[in-house]
Structures are given as structure tokens and as C-alpha cells.
Chains A and B, each alone.
Chain A
Amino acid sequence: MLKSKTFLKKTRAGGVMKIVREHYLRDDIGCGATGCAACGRAHEGPALELQPQDPASSLCPRPHYLLPDTNVLLHQIVIAWRPGTWASVASSLRPPGSLETYVEQEQGENANDRNDRAIRVAAKWYNEHLKKMSAENQLEVIFITNDRKNKEKAIEEGIPAFTCEEYIKSLTANPELIDRLACLSEEGNEIESGKVIFSEHLPLSKLQQGIKSGTYLQGTFRASRENYLEATVWVHGDAEENKEIILQGLKNLNRAIHEDIVAVELFPKSQWVAPSSVVLHDEGQDEDDVEKEEERETILKTAVNEKMLKPTGRVVGIIKRNWRPYCGMLSKSDIKESRRHLFTPADKRIPRIRIETRQASALEGRRIIVAIDGWPRNSRYPNGHFVKNLGDAGDKETETEVLLLEHDVPHQPFSQAVLSFLPKMPWSITEKDMKYREDLRHLCVCSVDPPGCTDIDDALHCRELENGNLEVGVHIADVSHFIRPGNALDQESARRGTTVYLCEKRIDMVPELLSSNLCSLRCNVDRLAFSCIWEMSHNAEILKTRFTKSVINSKASLTYAEAQMRIDSATINDDTTTSLRGLNKLAKILKKQRIEKGALTLSSPEVRFHMDSETHDPIDLQTKELRETNSMVEEFMLLANISVAKKIHEEFSEHALLRKHPAPPPSNYEILVKAAKSKNLEIRTDTAKSLADSLDQAESPTFPYLNTLLRILATRCMMQAVYFCSGMDNDFHHYGLASPIYTHFTSPIRRYADVIVHRLLAVAIGADSTYPELTDKHKLADLCKNLNFRHKMAQYAQRASVAFHTQLFFKSKGIVSEEGYILFVRKNAIVVLIPKYGLEGTVFFEEKDKPKPWLVYDDEIPSLKIEDTVFHIFDKVKVRIMLDSSNLQHQKIRMSLVEPQIPGISTDISNMDINEPERKKKKLQK
């Protein structure tokens, strides 16, 4: 039982503290090979195969295991990952502290050298051990290291050792693996022009010192989408000032890449700049155009008034890289037979990456994945290597894959482990299920959803009680009955966090059997539900609230339109319809109450595509229509969410999962107020209530769409609503809904947060038992973090999907001219919104090869004067829309001005000929 063998002390002196720790060396750690008799003791985890199936290597003909050193493993992980190629990677280094392979740090030896020596000792031990084990198998352990000295020493000690490159090159079966090799070899870098572009990154210890003393600031690097020479750094911590630091120019960005954690040095105030509103994209192919860059950088710096200046700085060092594999396309080098090419990521915030490949022509026009290996000081672009080929660009499948990958949406099919936790079919409700449930099958419950909806997670009922009051029930699918805490199904749903709705596809959070069948509250079948039942007066006052698990049998699954029709038609008078009418009446009162409290009604242009049933190409699109019934359902969902939030917070003050919407800082509203002012309207933003009221009053008789535009703009000013754990925060307010407390309870099929809320509520009413993770506020806070991230990403993915389908739509439609409104005015462009398509696009006024027009930008109003025409925000313009496919990677909708006409800038429709787009294409391709 007790296996403490040799026992030694490690002493670590830090300050005046002397810490003595024990370290037990073990003698029971096996070698991990499957057939090893010497260490056949219980061995957990993956074992090494007895007969490694190696790709034939010319260097080492005998079967062998590979023992990569840490650096190789870290940098070349992509190769190792690919299943099938390196089946025998013995990446399981021996766990530290085994008796035979323990290595004590010698005097004058640093930690790295000691580790190297430890790995060599391990390799040697393995070789001797394996020899003992099987004479006929002749297994060998090959040590892979890129460190020259380490390799020499290894060979001296009689361990077969190779560098990673040597080994990969010797693999006769897989020549394409060389492409995947991260190019870290020093020789590669020496070929580069010796000119150093960037200043050196400071070592981590210096950065930490600097951050402690306040000379440097630590923050997350966020590159700008619109301007590759500009970025902001969000400083961590609570300090109010210097929250956001601007970085301008390639040298100041100093090789930081989007999402990295960096250390920034602030410039003195005299060097501060204002964020430029220029839109700039990196298009140069040459590598040495550093001078040109400098020239461009000067464009950014323009005379601005003092007020606009923001804290400016430069990156002095990287604290943590946050690189991931990036999707994108290859821009093939102009030089024939060159193996070096530039790779353009789909995300504009990521710089272009230089990669080395022999299959450039095969990869051209494909979407590929590339990983970054490093960014040397003398290189304009980071170096990377090819990872995976996704398929043809423009292909719908490929593009969907790309957008899912880019937004980090888990979209693989559910694994067997996950599926094994699904209930067995045919499924029926058993006695046991009924234990804590009320039978509500007699109630006239119905669901109202958008057409084509298969995951129905809410249903409603309303009936008059004997005492004259109304009973209203919201019934939510009881997903937590099927997803039990802690199992693989639960973990997978928690990881996915939300269902993602793309234009033609739905990426489910839970397997289809649950989402579209067992949990979906379809009509005329018995379903388990979690019900929230109120007793209300006819004035929609809540007299009593009650929660219970239940069984319901929905009488009808209606669409919004059907429900609306039933309410409106005088002839239908069945139970369902009476129930709907009652609900509708109450909803109107509830909505009025809510708006009086200061809830905001915001707007965003939403569109829905009509798909061709066979090709799934979009044929037409329409803006989403809103009916009374939409708001009816919404109203009761809000009410249920608020009631549940109160209940769970009452019961679990420390670990209730709630949702909050922080009030935006006043500065966010600046653009809205300015815009309204230009139309002689006043928007008050001091409270949510006054904002809502002033938005309601902001009407213009001559310009009916103005109100919607203002609401769209107001939406952009808002903060993100987030999930949080009540024990970790004390501001619960939901700004948009004007509710002191809020949570998500009503869509457990498509949001994981709701599943947790269901569990909490079930415990609160005694219908279920608690489990450890549920009452751990740190675990809950971690979960919230993941959910918030997934929700944000799902939103982005949805938008990207809409954008892609809009492109497909315009591809089939050709060139159209449409009326739109100016949403934002920028320094060299205007952003136009076309209500008909819910489409937003940028009209640029500066184009290459064209004489620059006379532009005057006024930030105060804001307005842009081009030649003689002045553009204000909300001005009506006419633009020509077409698909610009000059850049296959970023096919985009291109807009150009038609009206008002400005000579030399706007496009004249009358003499526009068919060749024109072609001409433009060529120009852009340069």
C-alpha cells in the first residue's frame, strides 16, 4: 500500500520563506508498451502498440517508437495529430518521478539542460527496457529533437537521434508531410533579407516587471477589421482611464496578432493620435515595400482636434500568443516554381501568412487551413505551414464549413458516447416519470412558432377560473429530464452552448431525437414539460405564481400567421381560439406596462431567404414580418423568464444563473444623438425610459423610415447581454427589458443556459435533487463564460451565413439599383443600408487609379463633402449593387453611388455597358 521509496527534499528559496517539499519517486510506473511483461501492472490510458505500424522510413528500417522532445512536440503537434500517419508517436513521456529515470539538477546546469538530459535518460532507459522485453521484435526508440547539441549528446550516449526534418524526409510513404512541417529551421530564416523591420520583443520577466511597476500595460490585442495598420488594446483591470489604447503603424503593432495578450508601452501625450476612419486593406504582394508602408501610415495621421486624441502606444512584448489554425486562401506567388506563397486568412484581422508548399497549384482556389509558426523580426509577414484542404472556394458546403470553423462552432456529428445517453425508442411516459409531475393533459395548450419550426420548446394556455380570474400557463419542454447532469450528452450540450441557425442549416445543441421529437412540444402527443402557471386578474396583475413539472398534450401547433388568423376571425370560437384571445388581451396589457417602465423597442433589419427546395439556392428574400402574435408569445416568455429568475435567485442567492444587460456608457450614444440632431430631433439618453420615449417621439412626417433607422442605430449603441452567476456579481439589471432581474428559461432545446435554469428551478421546487457542479459558483461562472462566447460566435456565424446567401442571391440576380439610406459617414466612405434587402454596404470614394476626389470630412455633424455634394447621415441615396468576385476569398457585395450624381464618382446607369464589371475586375486583381 505505502510505496514511498527514496525520499528527498527540494528546497526553494523565495524571499525569506524556506519551503521544504517532499518528492516521492515511484517504482510502479510501467513503460506503457502493451505486451511488456516486466511492467504488466495496471496501466491506465492509451498503451503503445506492440507492433508499431510505421510508415516506411529510410533512416530507421526497424519498427520503432518515436520520442519527440518537448519543443518538437509543441511546434509540430499538427503533424502528430493527424491520425494514421504517425500511429506510433510515443508522446507519452514518462511521468516525472520514476525511480529509474529521475535526474537531479546538477550544479551549474540550468533547467532546460536538465530537462534535455532527463529526456535522454528516458530514451536510454526505454531502449534498454525494450531490449529486455522482446529480443525478436527489435523495437527501438528514436529520439527526435531539433536541438543540435542535444542530438549530438544523444548520439554520444548511444541513442538513435534525428532532427524532425530528417525523420520526416525519410518517410518514403508520405512525401506531403513535409509541407506540414512547421518551418522553424534556422537556415530558412537566414535567406530573408537581413533588414530588421521590427523591434525586439522584451522577455517575459522584463514585461512582468514593467507591468508591476506600471510602465507597461497588459491587454488583449484586437486588430481592426477595416484598417490593417491599426489596432486597439483592451487593457485588463479596473482602471477607468487608459482602458483602450490605440496602436498605429506596422512597427508599433510589432508582430502582435489578433487576440494575443500583449504588453503595451504608452507614448507621451504629444504623440497621441485619434482613431482614423480610413478604410485600408493590405494588398501589396511585395515583401520589401516597407517604405510604402510608412507612406501609408502617414495617411492615418491627420490633423484632429485635441479632444479626439486617445491614448496611443506600441507593443513591447507578447505575453501570450493566441494563435489558432486559420481558414483562408492561397495567393500564389507571381514567381513560377516558387515554393513560398502568401496565404490570406478569411478573417481580415489576421495578417497574411507566408507558407512554403510544393502543391501551390493544387491549392489555388481552395479554402485551406494554415497554422502560424512564428514571426521573425526581419519578416514583413509571419511564417506558417499548410494544415488542411477544405475544398473549393465558393462551394456552398465549403463556405459553410469555413464559417463554422472560423466562428469556432462545434459542428461534428454527435459521438456514440453522446448518443448512448438518449432514451431508447419507442419512448413513453412511465409511472416513475409521473412521480413529481402534475397531469395537465386536460388543459387546452397550444404552441405558436415560426413556420417550419421543428424544435418547439414553448406552449401556452389560458383559461378562466371559477373565481373569475384567469389562469395562464407557459409550458416549456422539459429537456433537463432527458439530459442528466454530468454525462457525455450533458457535457457535449454544455460545450456547444447553443443551437446555431444558419440560413439553410441548423446545428443542433442536442441530438435530433430530442430536439425535434421527444422534447419538441408537438400537438396531440403527450410530452413532458416544465410549467410556469400564474393566476392573473383581468388587468394582468399577477396574483399567484406556481412552478411545476408536468405532462401536457398540445392541442395545436400553430404558426404566427395561423394564430393571428384565428384571433381575428369572428367565426372560429373553439377552446384554442378563446385561449389565444385571452392571451393576446393580457399580452397587450403586459407590453404596455413594460414599456411604461422603460423597456426599449429596438430594431434590426432582419431578412429571411426563400430557398429553392432542390438546389438550396436563395430565390428571393423578404424582411421578417412582425404580427401581434409574435409579441404575444414574446410577452409571456419574458414574464416566465422574469418569474423564474426571481424564484431561483430567492432560492440560490449565490449560484443562480441569470442574464444581465448592462447600461451602455453615455459615450456610446454620441453617434445616435448627433444623427438625430442633424434631423432636428432630440434623443435623450439619460435613462432607458427617456430613450424609449424620445425614440417614440422621433417621427418625421416626410420620412417614415427615419424612426426605424434611429432604432437600428440605437441597437448598435447597446452593450451585449450576458449570462452570469449571481454570486459573482451584484449588478443584475437588464437594461433593454427594464427588469431588475432576468434569466433564460424558455428555450432549453436550443440554449444550454436554460437547461441549467431548469435544474435550479427543479431543485427549488423539490422536483429534482441537486448535484455538486450546480452549487459551485466558480464552475457556474466558467460555464457562463463559455455560453457567452458561444452565443456571440453563433450570432456572428448567423450573420456571416446571411451575408453569404445575400451574395449568392445577388450572383443570380445580377446588377441591381436600389434606394438606401446612409447609416454612417466615414472619412473616405459612406455606409449604406438598403431596407428592402436588409443589406448594409460601404461605398468607397477613393479608388486606386482614379483621380482622388476632393473630400472634406466633418466629424462634428458628421458629414462628408465630396466635390460639391454633402452627405449627411440618414440621407437617401441610390446605389448600384453587384457581386464583386474579383477576390475569390472575400466575395463581397459592392455598392457604388448612382444618385445623387457626382461627376467622376457616381456610376451612370445609362451608359453602363456589360463590359464594365469586367474592367473593374482586372483593376482590382492587381
Chain B
Amino acid sequence: MAGLDLLSDQGYRVDGRRAGELRKIQARMGVFAQADGSAYIEQGNTKALAVVYGPHEIRGSRARALPDRALVNCQYSSATFSTGERKRRPHGDRKSCEMGLQLRQTFEAAILTQLHPRSQIDIYVQVLQADGGTYAACVNAATLAVLDAGIPMRDFVCACSAGFVDGTALADLSHVEEAAGGPQLALALLPASGQIALLEMDARLHEDHLERVLEAAARAARDVHTLLDHVVRQHVCEASLLLGD
């Protein structure tokens, strides 16, 4: 990416944000009536849809049932039209499988699975448009969907990505910033306790910098929490109004 400064001298990023600022987040809960829980989220241009079924009986092989807790089954897919170049397969490729696994780890840590032994919870996430930070958007959408389904959780799971450019940690990377090839960190946080549900990074970063990048991601995740909390409260408000009628 020659000639493109990810961070200007004045401290602005390509899209006009400052280093620690998030993109605009908009979310809605309960978008589908058939599912037990569903949510839709927009983080800038990244758009994701999450649907939750369960807890219900184990489908398929009974042998998979866990005696002491619920099985969390996650499936990730991204729409063929989600990226600039059209994708061939919407799901089932390596990246999707890995993402599904990560989501599963994240939510096994957050959902109180021991309340529903020998049952299954399905979380399906689909990315409609990808513009960086797909994992974070998926986690945030899924959190809302799980809440919508009324499945008990320890806390919200809020995720955000962070990168590192020219000695500064950037929160919530957009596609342009991701494509530049620097280190990128994905963090899923349980904001109340500050516990980390998932932390992933796949590029080299000096350990001196890790602290700062982590800090930036955590702060951004807390900001996400404030927003999601607001969305949930509003949704509950609306729902109770409807029930009251």
C-alpha cells in the first residue's frame, strides 16, 4: 500500500477517526420471529446477522451430548457478496471453520452452559458485508442474539479488534487498515469482570507493544459494551411496551 498513510501526522486515520475511536455501531435485536433469538449489527460497513436456537435436545448423534453442560454449536458463514470480490463458497471453507471454532470457544466461556446439561445451543452467524473486524462484529451480534434468546450468560461478550501502526495502537480496524498487513489483535472481553474470553493475534509484535495494543482493544470493547447495553435496554423497553398493550 504505497503512499497511503494509515495514520496522518495530525493523528487521524484514513477514514477520519482518531486512534482509539470506534466506527459507528448500529444494532437491532429480534429481527427474526422463527428463531429463539436473533440480532443484526452494523459496525461501520461491516454487517453481520446472528441467529440462536436452543437450548434444545441434541440433534444427530446422541453421543455428542455432554453430561454436565450444554453443547455450544457455532456456524459461521459469510455471504458471497460480502467482499469486494465475489466469494465462491458461502461456508465450509477453512476460514469459516476456524471462525466457527473461535466463536464456540468464546461463547462456551460466556454462556452458563452447566444450567442445561445434555442439551445443545446453536449459534449461526452470517456476515453480509465485510469491512474489517468480522470476528468482532460476529461476537457482538451473537451476544445480542443469545440475550434475545434469553439464554443465561455470565456477562455480555464484547469484542473488538486492534492494530498497531507507527508506534500507535489503533482500535477497530477497517478493511483498509487490515489489508496493510500490520499486526492485528482480536479480543473478546467480559466487560464487568474484565476477563478475557478469547484473544488472538497472528502476526509478529514486540512484547513491549503488546500491553498497549491490548489496552486499546480492551477500552474499545468496553465502549462496545456501553452501546450494546443501550441497545438491549431499548429493546427490552420496546418489548415490554408491546406486552403491556
Contacts and interface: CB of A to CB of B under 8 A. Distances in A.
Interface of A: 1-4, 7, 16-26, 44-45, 95-97, 770-772, 775-776
B174 A771 contact: no
Interface stretch (B21-29, B102-110, B117-125): B21-29
Residue of B8, B15, B131 most packed against chain A (CB within 10 A): B15
A606 to B, nearest CB: 44
Interface string B14-37: 111100011111000000000000
Contacts of B21: 1-4
A24 B45 contact: no
B24 A95 contact: no
B10 interface: yes
Nearest to B208: A772
B92 interface: no
B44 interface: yes
Contacts of B84: 17-19
Contacts of A2: 21-22, 24-25, 223, 227
B11 A772 contact: no
Contacts of A16: 85
Nearest to A654: B204
Nearest to B129: A20
B24 A21 contact: no
A898 B242 CA distance: 114
A25 B22 contact: no
B115 interface: no
Contacts of B10: 44-45, 95
B45 A20 contact: yes
Contacts of A775: 206
A540 B186 CA distance: 56
Contact of A95 (B12, B14, B23, B25): B12
A159 B142 CA distance: 55
Contacts of B101: none
A14 to B, nearest CB: 10
Contact of A771 (B14, B25, B45, B206): B206
Contact of B24 (A4, A96, A97, A776): A4
B209 interface: yes
A1 B24 CA distance: 11
A95 B176 CA distance: 20
A21 B22 contact: no
25 contacts: A1-B21, A2-B25, A2-B223, A2-B227, A16-B85, A17-B84, A18-B84, A19-B84, A20-B45, A21-B14, A22-B24, A22-B44, A23-B16, A24-B15, A24-B16, A24-B17, A95-B12, A96-B16, A97-B12, A770-B206, A771-B208, A772-B206, A772-B208, A772-B209, A775-B206
A24 B223 CA distance: 18
Contact of B15 (A3, A21, A772): A21
A21 B174 CA distance: 9
A45 B11 CA distance: 11
A7 B131 CA distance: 15
Contacts of B85: 16-17
B26 to A, nearest CB: 10
Given A3-B21, A21-B176, A95 B8 contact: yes
Contacts of B206: 770-772, 775-776
A2 B44 CA distance: 12
A44 B24 contact: no
A23 B23 CA distance: 10
A24 B16 CA distance: 5
Nearest to B12: A95
Contacts of A17: 84-85
A776 B205 CA distance: 9
A558 B109 CA distance: 71
Given A7-B24, A95-B8, A23 B209 contact: no
Contacts of B176: 21
A412 B162 CA distance: 41
A906 B12 CA distance: 71
Contacts of B24: 2, 4, 7, 22, 24
B223 A26 contact: no
A728 to B, nearest CB: 15
B208 to A, nearest CB: 5
Given A2-B21, A24-B24, 14 more contacts: A1-B223, A4-B23, A17-B85, A18-B84, A21-B14, A21-B15, A22-B23, A22-B24, A22-B44, A22-B45, A22-B131, A24-B16, A26-B16, A95-B8
A19 B4 CA distance: 15
Contacts of A3: 21
A772 B209 CA distance: 8
A286 B206 CA distance: 62
Contacts of B16: 23-26, 96-97
Contacts of B44: 22
Nearest to A776: B206
A812 B176 CA distance: 67
Nearest to B209: A772
A44 B9 CA distance: 11
A599 to B, nearest CB: 38
A782 B208 CA distance: 21
B177 to A, nearest CB: 11
A410 B209 CA distance: 32
A725 to B, nearest CB: 15
B80 to A, nearest CB: 14
Contacts of B45: 20-22
Contacts of B14: 21
Contacts of A26: 12, 16
The 7 closest A-B pairs by CB, nearest first: A772-B206, A24-B16, A4-B24, A97-B16, A17-B84, A22-B15, A95-B10
Nearest to A102: B16
A93 to B, nearest CB: 10
A658 B11 CA distance: 35
Residue of B11, B22, B24, B227 most packed against chain A (CB within 10 A): B24
Nearest to A486: B167
A332 B166 CA distance: 50
Contacts of B11: 44
A41 to B, nearest CB: 13
B131 A20 contact: yes
A96 B10 CA distance: 10
Contacts of B131: 20, 22
Interface string B160-184: 0000000000000010100000000
Interface string B216-227: 000000010001
Contacts of A21: 14-15, 45, 174, 176
Nearest to B174: A22
B90 to A, nearest CB: 19
A19 B131 CA distance: 10
A776 B10 CA distance: 25
Contacts of B223: 1-2
A23 B208 contact: no
Nearest to B22: A2
Contacts of B17: 4, 24
A274 B176 CA distance: 50
A305 to B, nearest CB: 44
Contacts of A19: 84
A25 B12 CA distance: 11
A770 B14 CA distance: 31
Residue of A2, A20, A25, A26 most packed against chain B (CB within 10 A): A2
A20 B17 CA distance: 16
A22 B47 CA distance: 14
B213 to A, nearest CB: 12
A23 B10 CA distance: 16
Interface in B123-140: 131
Nearest to B8: A95
B223 to A, nearest CB: 6
Residue of A3, A24, A26, A775 most packed against chain B (CB within 10 A): A24
A760 to B, nearest CB: 14
A329 B31 CA distance: 79
Contacts of A44: 10-11
Nearest to A3: B21
